[in-house]
Structure formats: structure tokens, C-alpha cells
């Protein structure tokens, strides 16, 4: 995910990164489009590597310490079998937890045909909650989940919508902070919208988007991030539109940005 069009350090820095003539995001060929999505997914996960690594290190550390404790206990003349049993069970649980983390990452990165299924956005978010928290942790950001209990089911490719959500989260985490600004705070909020739409919004307390950038921020290759390709928002928007939905921006209150994905719910 590449940074959205936050206030640039130097206005001129954005000029070379303006989108090419025409609308490159409209209808790329299927093959190129698929490869672009795959590359974007891998890039997103790659950028989250620090957080994923930290998350994976937790159960590994627990396993190592429990095993070491078992070793010490077993060296005693009359070891407590209850303590050893507790440690062994914890080792098994933590190993399963490590496997869950890897499974979630693999689910996001593997290339496969689009597969739509009925789902609710809360479940979609919950499945990547740990990854989001891990990424936020290395950015020293706070994250809140404000999930509406009653959401309509939507017909989606879960991995694609998760990809879009993670892009928005990374966007919010990487938005530049003004000197002395408050710690970054994110909220992932789901809501039922009139006319039967379900919404997942990513809100932050960052600097928001400059008015002059609003028109181009969903165009590919438009970014203020020096090392960024400027594809995150464009790809997220394309993914959501392929589901008949919308990705829109609105200022957060009292400050910051709010990117919202809306997808029509299925009746019945």
C-alpha cells in the first residue's frame, strides 16, 4: 500500500508521480490485472513483515520458554507433573497459534481464481484483526474495532476485500505525522448504511488529505511517498468496484481521514 496523498513535504515532489494520461485503472486486461493484484498483495504483506514477524515471534518465544522450563523441571528429583503438563499443553496451543498466523498470511498471499461467497464484513475484519494489530504495534499506533452487530451479508471474494482493507490500514499507519502530533489512532468501523449497504471504514487522526489532491488520489501512480508506487488506493478502489461497491474518502472528525468501502448487501 502506498501512501495516500497527504500533505507533501514539497509540493513539487508530487508532480513527477502524477498519473499517466487516460485512466489506467479502468480496464486492464485480465492477465495483467491478476498479476498486478498478486504483486500488490505481496507488496502489502511484505510491508507488514515487521508486524507479522513480531506476531509470529510471540508463540515461538512462549514455546521456547515453556520447553526450557520443562527441561529444568524434569531435571529435578521429583518434578511437578502438573506444571509439566501445563507447559506441554501451552506448547501445543502456542504451536497452533503460530500455524494460524501463517495460515492467515498464506491466505492473503496465495494466487487463486476469484471466488465470491456470502460473508459479513465483521467476520472479514476479525480474520485479519491480529495482522492489523501486529502492524499497528510496530507503528506504535492504537487501533479500535467498532463493529456493528447487524450487518447484511455481502457477496465478496474475502481475500480481495481483506487486501483492500489492509491497504487502507497501512495508508493510515503510514500517513505522515506533524511534529508533536498525538499518537496515531485508527478505528475500523462497520455500519449498516441506508439502501442495504454494508460499510467498513478506516478512520485515523492523521493530517487528512489536501483538497487539491482529492481528485487524483484514487488514480494509479499518484503518491507523495518517495518510494511508493502509488498503487494502493487505486487497486483498492478497483477491487471494491469489481464487487459493485465504492471506495470513498471523507474527512474524519475532528481531524484526519476516513476511507470507506461500501458494498450492497444481499437480501434474504
Partner 1 sequence: MMSGSATPSAADGPESPAGVRILLVDDHEGVRNATAMLLRTEGFEVLCAASLSEAREALRTGSPIDLVIADYHLQAGETGIEVIAMARSVAGEHLGAVLVSGDTSSTPHDVQVTGRLRLAGKPIRGRELLAIVTELLPVRKAT
In the complex, least distance from residue 221 CB atom to partner 1, rounded to whole angstroms: 28
Per-residue mark of binding to partner 1, 105-144 (x: CB under 8 A): --------------------------------xx-xxx--
In the complex, least distance from residue 255 CB atom to partner 1, rounded to whole angstroms: 18
221-251 exposure pattern, b = at least 16 Cβ within 10 A, e = fewer = bbbbbeebbbbbbbbbbbbbeebebebebee
Contacts (Cβ under 8 Å, ≥6 apart) of 210: 5, 6, 7, 8
Beta bridge partners of 261: 200, 247
Q: Site for partner 1 (CB under 8 A): how many residues?
A: 35
Of 228, 226, 231, residue with least CA distance to 163: 231
In the complex, least distance from residue 60 CB atom to partner 1, rounded to whole angstroms: 5
Which residue in 11, 83, 102, 123 binds partner 1 (CB under 8 A)?
Answer: 83
Is the CA virtual torsion 251, 197, 149, 98 positive or negative?
negative
Per-residue mark of binding to partner 1, 41-80 (x: CB under 8 A): ---------xx-xx--xxxxxxxxxxxxx-xxx--x----
Q: Is 173 in the site for partner 1 (CB under 8 A)?
A: no
CA trace torsion 3, 44, 124, 62 (10° rounding): -120
Nearer to partner 1, 105 or 119 (CB): 105
In the complex, least distance from residue 93 CB atom to partner 1, rounded to whole angstroms: 7
Whether 121 contacts 190, CB under 8 Å: yes
Interface ranges with partner 1 (CB under 8 A)? 50-51, 53-54, 57-69, 71-73, 76, 83, 86-87, 90, 93-94, 97, 137-138, 140-142, 183-184
Amino acid at each position: 500500500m502506498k501512501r495516500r496523498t497527504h500533505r507533501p513535504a514539497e509540493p513539487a515532489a508530487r508532480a513527477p508521480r502524477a498519473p499517466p494520461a487516460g485512466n489506467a485503472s479502468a480496464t486492464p486486461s485480465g492477465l495483467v490485472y491478476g498479476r498486478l493484484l498478486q504483486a500488490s498483495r505481496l507488496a502489502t504483506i511484505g510491508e507488514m513483515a515487521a508486524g507479522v514477524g513480531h506476531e509470529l515471534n510471540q508463540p515461538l518465544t512462549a514455546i521456547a520458554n515453556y520447553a526450557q522450563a520443562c527441561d529444568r523441571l524434569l531435571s529435578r528429583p521429583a518434578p511437578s507433573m502438573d506444571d509439566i503438563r501445563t507447559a506441554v499443553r501451552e506448547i501445543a496451543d502456542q504451536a497452533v497459534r503460530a500455524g494460524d498466523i501463517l495460515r492467515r498470511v498464506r491466505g492473503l498471499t496465495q494466487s487463486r481464481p476469484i471466488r465470491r461467497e456470502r460473508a459479513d464484513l465483521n467476520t472479514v475484519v476479525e480474520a485479519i484483526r491480529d495482522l492489523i494489530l501486529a502492524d499497528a504495534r510496530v507503528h506504535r499506533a492504537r487501533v479500535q474495532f467498532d463493529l456493528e452487530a447487524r450487518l447484511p451479508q455481502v457477496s465478496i471474494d474475502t481475500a480481495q476485500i481483506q487486501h483492500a482493507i489492509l491497504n487502507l490500514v497501512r495508508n493510515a499507519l503510514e500517513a505522515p505525522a506533524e511534529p508533536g502530533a498525538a499518537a496515531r489512532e485508527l478505528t475500523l468501523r462497520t455500519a449498516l448504511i441506508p439502501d442495504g449497504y454494508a460499510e467498513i471504514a478506516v478512520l485515523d487522526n492523521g493530517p487528512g488529505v489536501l483538497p487539491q489532491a482529492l481528485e487524483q488520489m484514487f488514480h494509479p501512480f499518484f503518491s507523495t511517498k518517495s518510494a511508493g508506487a502509488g498503487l494502493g488506493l487505486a487497486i483498492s478502489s478497483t477491487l471494491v468496484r469489481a464487487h459493485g461497491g465504492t471506495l470513498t474518502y471523507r474527512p474524519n472528525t475532528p481531524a484526519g481521514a476516513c476511507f470507506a468501502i461500501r458494498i450492497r448487501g444481499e437480501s434474504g
